[in-house]
Amino acid sequence: MGGAKRTKDAAGAMVKKNVGTAELLAAIRRIWESARLQAARSVNSALVQANWLIGRQIVEAEQKGKSRAAYSSRLLETLSESLEKEYGSGFSVTALKYMRMFYLDYPELLEIRHAARDESAAAGAKAKGHAARDFSASAAGADWQPGRLHAGLSWTHYRTLLKVDRREARDFYEIEAIRNGWSARQLERQINTFLFDRLLKSRDKAGVLALANEGLVATRPTDAIKDPYVLEFLDLPESHRLVESRVEEALISRLQDFLLELGSGFAFIGRQVRLTLDGDHFYPDLVFYHAKLKCYVVIDLKVEKLTHGDLGQMQMYVNYYDREIAEPGDQPTIGLILCADKNESMVRYVLDDKAKQIFASRYQFQLPSEEVLRAEIKREMEELDSGSAQS
């Protein structure tokens, strides 16, 4: 009997020891992963700062050249040849051009303060070969603003941002990349699909300015909707022979990419979630919940031109979710129909007072060209303005 008790006590002690060891391992992993993340960010910030300072030195040297273009070309080639011999790859002429562009496009990335000093201190600094400057950078402070250094952006992020010519668009992508933790590849995808331009629809000048200064802040349903949606990641052909189920299956298989395209705040609930009315069953294609807007989002896919029947069906889905599914405190359900084509006037007249809850957006499987996208946005905004004037 005593032996059994000792065996039980020993087993209990072993369980406690194992639990204690597991907790200790978990704590050590958290500390180590946090340290690795901080170290990586420190290295990234140091590299970004170094590239900016190198670009600054190149620009200052160029400005002293008599024939700027010719001098610049020879200077970069000379620098590249020497630096690559000493430090290896990473200092090609192209890389040096990016560093120069980085300084020119981000002149205020680092705050450079000239330290107050008397003549003897200045002379001492000069004699010792030290620059009499104090470099200060707020890597992620509350006072951060676009154009300043941020630890969440790597050199690859900044190189990608340099491809955006318009300052207001670049500021927007910078804010959103930090807010959503986009990888450099995700950032590039959002830029290549002209996310900023697709969000401009139904925004006045104040709305455009807010996008540039604050990023996308979803406070109303229209803030969460784009037009068109770009689904190039599905690798599907632009074909009228496609069926909804195939598009739906492709979206589910690439759900992470689809969530990136939908935007932040969307949480996936289910596919073909059944709703029943007097024994009849209906199946909305996709259902999400928007954490920021605090509402359900019902999405239907249409591979052909939108009809008034499609809009009526979505009205039924939205009404059902508002009355039967939504909890107290939830905001009105959003309905989104992704269609191959639509008649904007028909949509406006059918929806009428539901226009703030139900949206019809085109989708496309290929990356848009900037010219085509701008023409499309201009056309649809003119149609919206015309509709507002008539009403």
Share of the chain above pLDDT 90, in %: 36
Q: How far apart are CA 129 and CA 134, in angstroms?
A: 15
Per-residue 3-state assignment (H helix, E strand, C coil) for 163-224: CCCCHHHHHHHHHHHHHHCCCHHHHHHHHHCCHHHHCCCCCCHHHHHHHHHHCCCCCCHHHH
> Does residue 136 sit in helix, strand or coil?
strand
Q: Which ranges in the chain belong to alpha helices (H)?
A: 2-62, 68-87, 93-105, 119-127, 155-161, 167-180, 184-192, 195-198, 205-214, 244-253, 255-262, 308-320, 344-351, 370-390
68 shares a domain with 43? yes
Least confident of 18-32, 61-75, 177-191, 348-362: 61-75
**Residue for token digits 């562009």?**
101
Strand 358-364 with 229-230, pairing? parallel
Tokens of 27: 């704590």
Chain-centroid distance of CA 240 in Å reads 31
Instruction: Please check whether residue 99 lies inside any domain of the structure.
Output: yes
Radius of gyration in angstroms for the set of CA atoms belonging to the chain, rounded to a whole number: 28
**Same-domain pairing of 155 and 181:** no
Q: What is the number of domains present in the chain?
A: 3
Are residues 212 and 179 part of one domain?
yes
> Does 20 fall in a domain?
no
CATH of the domain at 283: 3.40.1350.10
Considering the domain architecture, whether residues 103 and 69 belong to the same structural domain is answered as yes
DSSP state of 293: T
Same domain, 206 and 352: no
The answer to whether residue 290 sits within a structural domain is yes
Verify that 212 and 257 share a domain, yes or no. Answer: no
Which range, of 49-53, 129-133, 347-351, 381-385, averages the lowest pLDDT?
129-133
Same structural domain, 210 and 69: no
181 shares a domain with 192: yes
d(CA 92, CA 76): 9
> Would you say residue 232 lies in a domain?
yes
CB 208 within 8 A of CB 200: yes
Average pLDDT over every residue of 355-382: 77
pLDDT tens digits for 88-134?
888 899 999 999 999 999 999 987 544 434 444 444 444 443 333 33
Residue 356 lies in a domain: yes
pLDDT tens per residue, range 233-266: 988 876 656 778 888 889 999 999 999 999 989 9
Nearest to 174 by CA among 202, 194, 193, 152: 152
> What pLDDT score does 326 carry?
93
- What is the rounded average pLDDT of the residues 138-150? 74
Among 199, 217, 235, the domain boundary falls at 217
- Among residues 162, 227, 173, 229, which one has the least CA distance to residue 200? 227
User: Residue 49: which domain range?
Assistant: 36-108+147-159
Average pLDDT over residues 174-184: 92
Asked if residue 286 and residue 196 are part of one domain, the reply reads no
